[in-house]
A and B are shown apart, each in its own frame.
Chain A
């Protein structure tokens, strides 16, 4: 059975200009111990999707349709109190730029212990600190630095502390939203490597959100490409990379500079993504797509199954 199954999830925000459909009819499933990555440009709804899974949408955000089934239970039917118990113990999240959200006047060990104690009220502080020590070993932080304050840490160490905090209550699923964006290449590489090792060691499931397709491909078995609130392609990373079907995926890959092989001209994606308050009727990418025809803008595109595990939301992709 899948650990997480999301069915036709739609999320929107009330804004001054109208109702913004940030995520529309996104479906996917994630098995135990697997990793899934969502890639898309800013504003495509990937962070909203993560927040909706955690039940942490801002007050003007609502899930308008769909189901989020985790271990057989629909999370959307749970009350806020039930969700609070659920969060962090079952699903935890590494928020975007979370390393800057560490409390500067509290020792790192106390901040992580606080997370443990909040969710396990019966635990003693001593025991929680012992657990922090284990977490430090797990994420590769020297135990001698437990009593330090966040400003004494480098960026990579802070990010490790945040990962330790996300792991503190032994969750089954971690949602990581751009966890390495502010880090240097070498530190990023280390963190990604460690994330992969941790995932294997603890048999975790991971949902990885990033705008950088190469980082997602480094960590995830399965990749979902998002564009303007919709999932537009979904498949194993080999399928999506070696045989991209949606024209947006192809454009994304060809706008990326490579290290080896022939130096080819990068083709930027022209134009801007559409307004999601009144999204276009047909394919949302068709204004920026060089292959689009008249039929693309008339009605919504249908999913095309390329292989049993690979599908794309594009009417032209097999032609």
Chain B
């Protein structure tokens, strides 16, 4: 397929790693409460490894509770992983302190989900966007103003002078989110985590935000981790996607490839769940989602076993399928994804016994 956007494909030979996650795990413990003892462990991320290349938009796709937001928070350093390392340009980040940590925070920025909550209502747009510059002691009064104006232009708030002294309540949701993007971009970051930046917005504003992200990537050469539950948005925006389920990376590959030719039953279930009408052409139905769910013992076997219609009673119940290459740069963590292991979903009649 031809690519319509400039620079949306990165040739293999120019791939340069910006960010690397190595075997990242994050476990939350529930607090003891009035009613119960607490101390239960919730695995938010389970040994995730990822490499993100310079200038790409990488999509992390999954349902709520899958751990995708946790991954974003670990990357920007809002939380620390229990195990594993995160590298930015080959520097491990957990050891950073003082000035180096502050510099890391300048280089790695985050765009939050809800622009109705992420902007301080008492600050004007200028104050909001200039605040990061003040914190990092960049520029003087005039230079700051210029940078703010420039950034507002980049995110499509024009003429910028009209927005500088307005307050968030005077803006629409789409405009607020653009201010939030400007706030992340004003420091000239290398890496930006965008956590579901359009899920609180109307569908008609989403396209604006997508195009702005594509635009800042091309213009400012930032690398973006785009966290979403919407596969169609991921297809539009991302070069590569990773599909995550209950903290486990299930599938990883070029966005178009993963969406047109998904290998993991969970990815297939996600595609089945998208409303079909209005998408041009026929969409294949995979029917891999199992209802009602199977019984399974916790902690062993494939994470998707309970919900997977394709699953094998003996193998998938006990063994965890590793993430393996099924094609060039397309990986899936499923025993049936590998060539020669295609298996038809069990018929409903077989499932009644489960």
Contacts from A to B (Cβ < 8 Å):
41-42, 155, 184-186, 188-190, 192, 211-215, 217-218, 237, 241, 251-253, 255-269, 272
- Chain B residue contacts of A212, Cβ below 8 A: 203, 275
- Chain A residue contacts of B208, Cβ below 8 A: 268
Task: For the complex formed, measure the closest distance between the CB of B3 and the CB atoms of chain A, giving whole angstroms.
Answer: 8
B260→A260 contact, CB < 8 A: yes
Output the residue of A217, A251, A257, A266 with the most chain B CB within 10 A.
A257
Residue B272 interfacial (CB < 8 Å): yes
Interface residues in B201-247 by Cβ distance below 8 A to A read 202-208, 210-211, 229-233, 235-236
Pick the residue among A41, A241, A263 that contacts B236 (CB under 8 A): A263
CA distance A241 to B91 in the complex (A): 51
B278→A214 contact, CB < 8 A: yes
- Chain A residue contacts of B269, Cβ below 8 A: 186
Residue B281 interfacial (CB < 8 Å): yes
- Chain A residue contacts of B172, Cβ below 8 A: 272
User: A-facing mask of B49-74, CB < 8 A → 1, else 0?
Assistant: 00000000000000110000000000
A260→B280 contact, CB < 8 A: yes
- Chain B residue contacts of A184, Cβ below 8 A: 63-64, 229
- Chain A residue contacts of B100, Cβ below 8 A: none
A259→B274 contact, CB < 8 A: yes
Interface residues on B, range: 35 or more
List the 8 closest pairs (A to B, CB-CB), nearest first. Answer: A261-B280, A189-B273, A217-B277, A255-B207, A268-B208, A268-B207, A257-B236, A214-B275
Task: For the complex formed, measure the closest distance between the CB of B227 and the CB atoms of chain A, giving whole angstroms.
Answer: 14
B235→A263 contact, CB < 8 A: yes
Closest chain A residue to B210, Cβ basis: A266
Task: For the complex formed, measure the closest distance between the CB of A157 and the CB atoms of chain B, giving whole angstroms.
Answer: 13
Task: For the complex formed, measure the closest distance between the CB of B285 and the CB atoms of chain A, giving whole angstroms.
Answer: 11
CA distance A42 to B172 in the complex (A): 10
- Chain B residue contacts of A264, Cβ below 8 A: 4
What are 15 A-B contacts with C-beta separation under 8 Å? A41-B203, A41-B204, A42-B173, A185-B270, A188-B273, A214-B274, A217-B277, A257-B236, A259-B235, A260-B283, A263-B1, A265-B4, A266-B211, A268-B208, A272-B172
- Chain B residue contacts of A258, Cβ below 8 A: 232, 235, 278-280
Task: List 15 additional A-B contacts (Cβ < 8 Å) besides A213-B278, A252-B203.
Answer: A41-B204, A42-B173, A185-B63, A188-B273, A214-B278, A218-B276, A251-B204, A252-B204, A257-B230, A259-B235, A259-B283, A261-B279, A262-B1, A263-B235, A265-B211
Closest chain A residue to B291, Cβ basis: A190
Known contacts: A218-B276, A257-B232, A268-B208. The answer to whether A41 contacts B1 by CB under 8 A is no
Task: For the complex formed, measure the closest distance between the CB of A250 and the CB atoms of chain B, giving whole angstroms.
Answer: 12
Known contacts: A42-B202, A184-B63. The answer to whether A267 contacts B278 by CB under 8 A is no
Residue B257 interfacial (CB < 8 Å): no
Residue B289 interfacial (CB < 8 Å): yes
- Chain A residue contacts of B271, Cβ below 8 A: 259
CA distance A260 to B277 in the complex (A): 11
B232→A259 contact, CB < 8 A: yes
B273→A185 contact, CB < 8 A: yes
Residue B5 interfacial (CB < 8 Å): yes
Residue B23 interfacial (CB < 8 Å): no
- Chain A residue contacts of B291, Cβ below 8 A: 190
CA distance A211 to B278 in the complex (A): 15
Residue B259 interfacial (CB < 8 Å): yes
Task: For the complex formed, measure the closest distance between the CB of A104 and the CB atoms of chain B, giving whole angstroms.
Answer: 13
- Chain B residue contacts of A185, Cβ below 8 A: 63, 229-231, 270, 273-274
Interface residues in B178-208 by Cβ distance below 8 A to A read 202-208
CA distance A262 to B1 in the complex (A): 8
A237→B277 contact, CB < 8 A: yes
Known contacts: A185-B230, A217-B277. The answer to whether A257 contacts B235 by CB under 8 A is yes
Residue B256 interfacial (CB < 8 Å): yes
A211→B235 contact, CB < 8 A: no
Closest chain A residue to B232, Cβ basis: A257
- Chain B residue contacts of A217, Cβ below 8 A: 275, 277-278
